[in-house]
Amino acid sequence: MTVLYKIFDQLNVLESIHILYCYSLDTDFIQQIINLTKPFKLKSLFLDEVLQIDPLKSLLQKSGDFLENFGFGYGLGLYTSNESKQQLLELIIKYCTNIK
């Protein structure tokens, strides 16, 4: 069991988790969250960049029911294609029913 997995496993005791101003979520980072057997109560997700859609799809499938706050940063326009932005918005609509 990796140290990162142990940390994520302990995060379950928190009421909610907020990821703010994240440049890009690494695939390995997201995979650690996906591998958790307990719910990952991600309440806020603000991204500055999206490099890959598939890992984010997995994250939203796991934690989308908890997500209430979502946002794009200024960097999202620099390296993220319009197609990726559209896909991400479609995933948010599909998996995140509690966005405020």
Is 100 a member of any domain? Answer: no
What's the predicted TM-score (pTM) here?
A: 0.79
Q: Give the span between the Cα atoms of 49 and 72, in whole angstroms.
A: 8
Is 19 a member of any domain? Answer: yes
Using H for helix, E for strand and C for coil, what is the string for 30-77?
HHHHHCCCCCCCEEEEEECCCCCHHHHHHHHHHHCCCCCEEEECCCHH
pLDDT band at 12 (very low <50, low <70, confident <90, very high): low
Show the domain range for 20.
3-95
* Structural domains in the chain (count): 1
pLDDT value of position 68: 95
**For residue 41, what are its two tokens?**
């109560």
Which pLDDT tens digit goes with each residue over 14-54?
Answer: 677 887 777 667 888 888 888 888 888 899 998 877 778 89
Which pLDDT tens digit goes with each residue over 73-88?
Answer: 665 555 677 788 889 8
Q: Give the span between the Cα atoms of 56 and 25, in whole angstroms.
A: 8
pLDDT band at 5 (very low <50, low <70, confident <90, very high): low
